[in-house]
């Protein structure tokens, strides 16, 4: 008889882990609190637009995610990320050709030659650590986790290069300034995105989650409250619309976010593991989508905004350029992404206030498009992405060292690195390997 494994969480991590465990012959059941599977990967469809409300692209550095997508037959569904990166400085939108970073730096008219040379001198330092940046487990760089990304940068590049390039890149990816995150997180970002291309899916990211979920035994509406390990198996207690249930299995894989994992299994973790999770920080994610009845020319797929230009705005993204099927022909979509200084207070406000605030940015940067708005949407995530503050990865090293790799309960998720589809798929693969090794 095959061993029964309960997988908690149906985001990319949980779906990947269950997919691999089923391949190995285990009897899996996935539990999901919501009434839909996919976690923070969700696509909405209306009037010809495809809105990815969470994860939306696979960077070419997401090796595990890309391999998995091809394995489930989705290569024909790939669509290339199109359009230029841009940065807004003193009223001008400058194109950034990040396909060739060295050439791009040399051609940046908004940087002095001193700043350009300082960025070039930064390359050997980055290469020193490049091979050690594990895109799905950053504990291997724990000894570097002693200073902020800002401190690291300003020791090596000019303030101008920091303000007009490195910090805006970080802001556009994380919604945080470099003074708020560890240098480890910045190295992850540079290796993951700075020189990478990206692909999406025709039909949005639901295409990926639906392919992974095919044939899986998924139980939605199961809000897990506690996981107990016994001598002969595990007991999972959950709330459902029909009442409390207790489910028994031989093993359990917890693939939820770090805070949920602690809530349901913190009683069985070590003090060091709970300390890591106590300190783990997520920021809410409330992106505002504007839809337009025209398709403007000369806009950037992602527009970076320096702090000196606007401290509360992280980026503007012309989402219809992220793939060929994101918007109807002749129409377009813009995402307004606020910094954490905008996200935290705005998430508590009514949706109408968030939209009104975002509309102010639209008026400031693209005033000629205000009259062309046909609809507006807002994303719903109270825990959007992890925030890798200084000290986070030292604590992560202790957390991972204390994992009982032979236990009946294993766990993994975005908190092993940074919230991304790449991290989710990679930690799902790792979780399945650990789970299979623990099963006797």
Confidence (pLDDT) at 91: 96
Residue 173 Cα to chain centre, angstroms: 9
Cβ atoms of 313 and 342 closer than 8 Å: yes
In whole numbers, what is the pLDDT of the chain averaged over residues? 93
CA distance 175 to 165: 15
pLDDT of 357 higher than 80: yes
- What CATH architecture applies to the domain 82-196+282-386? Alpha-Beta Complex (3.90)
CA distance 393 to 378: 32
Confidence (pLDDT) at 3: 93
Counting runs of H as helices and runs of E as strands, what totals does the chain give? 15, 22
pLDDT of 389 higher than 70: yes
Whether 82-196+282-386 and 4-45+57-78+204-269+402-438 are alike in CATH topology: the answer is no
Length of the chain: 440
| pLDDT, tens only, 232-264 | 999 999 999 999 999 999 999 999 999 999 999
Cβ atoms of 265 and 254 closer than 8 Å: yes
Pairing mode, strands 4-8 and 251-254? parallel
Question: How many alpha carbons fall within 13 Å on the CB side of residue 67?
Answer: 10
**Percentage of the chain surpassing pLDDT 90?**
79
pLDDT of 136 higher than 90: no
| pLDDT, tens only, 184-223 | 999 998 888 766 688 999 999 999 999 999 999 999 999 9
Domain ranges, ordered by start, for the chain: 4-45+57-78+204-269+402-438, 82-196+282-386
CA distance 231 to 22: 24
Which CATH number is associated with domain 4-45+57-78+204-269+402-438? 3.50.50.60
Tell me the average pLDDT across 399-410.
96
Confidence (pLDDT) at 1: 58
Confidence (pLDDT) at 103: 83
């Amino acid at each position: 008889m095959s061993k029964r494994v309960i997988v908690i969480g149906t985001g990319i991590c949980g779906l990947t882990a269950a997919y691999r465990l089923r391949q190995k012959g285990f009897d899996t059941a996935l539990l999901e609190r919501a009434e839909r599977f996919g976690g923070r990967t969700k696509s909405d469809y209306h009037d010809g637009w495809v809105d990815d409300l969470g994860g939306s692209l696979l960077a070419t550095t997401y090796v595990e995610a890309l391999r998995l997508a091809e394995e489930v037959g989705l290569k024909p569904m790939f669509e290339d990320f199109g359009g230029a990166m841009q940065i807004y400085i003193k009223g001008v939108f400058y194109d950034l050709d990040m396909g060739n970073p060295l050439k791009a730096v040399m051609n940046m008219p908004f940087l002095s030659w001193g700043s350009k040379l300082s960025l070039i001198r930064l390359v050997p330092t980055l290469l020193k650590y490049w091979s050690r940046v594990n895109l799905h487990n950053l504990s291997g760089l724990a000894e570097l986790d002693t200073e902020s990304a800002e401190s690291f940068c300003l020791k090596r590049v000019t303030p101008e290069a920091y303000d007009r390039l490195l910090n805006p890149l970080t802001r556009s990816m994380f919604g945080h300034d470099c003074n708020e995150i560890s240098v480890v997180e910045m190295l992850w970002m540079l290796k993951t995105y700075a020189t990478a291309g990206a692909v999406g899916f025709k039909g949005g990211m639901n295409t990926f989650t639906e392919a992974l979920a095919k044939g899986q035994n998924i139980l939605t509406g199961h809000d897990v409250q506690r996981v107990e390990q016994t001598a002969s198996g595990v007991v999972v207690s959950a709330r459902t619309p029909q009442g409390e249930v207790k489910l028994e299995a031989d093993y359990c894989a917890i693939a939820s976010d770090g805070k949920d994992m602690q809530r349901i299994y913190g009683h069985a973790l070590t003090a060091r593991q709970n300390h890591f999770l106590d300190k783990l920080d997520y920021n809410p994610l409330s992106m505002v989508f504007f839809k337009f009845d025209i398709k403007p020319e000369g806009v950037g797929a992602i527009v970076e905004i320096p702090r000196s230009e606007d401290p509360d705005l992280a980026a503007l993204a012309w989402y219809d350029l992220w793939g060929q099927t994101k918007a109807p022909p002749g129409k377009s979509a813009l995402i307004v992404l606020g910094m954490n200084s905008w996200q935290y207070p705005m998430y508590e406000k009514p949706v109408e206030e968030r939209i009104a605030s975002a509309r102010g940015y639209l008026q400031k940067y693209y005033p000629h498009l205000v009259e062309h708005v046909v609809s507006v949407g807002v994303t719903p995530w109270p825990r959007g992405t992890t925030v890798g503050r200084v000290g986070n990865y030292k604590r992560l090293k202790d957390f991972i060292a204390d994992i009982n790799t032979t236990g009946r309960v294993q766990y993994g998720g975005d908190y092993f690195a940074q919230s991304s589809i790449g991290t989710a798929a990679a930690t799902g693969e790792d979780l399945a390997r650990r789970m299979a090794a623990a099963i006797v």
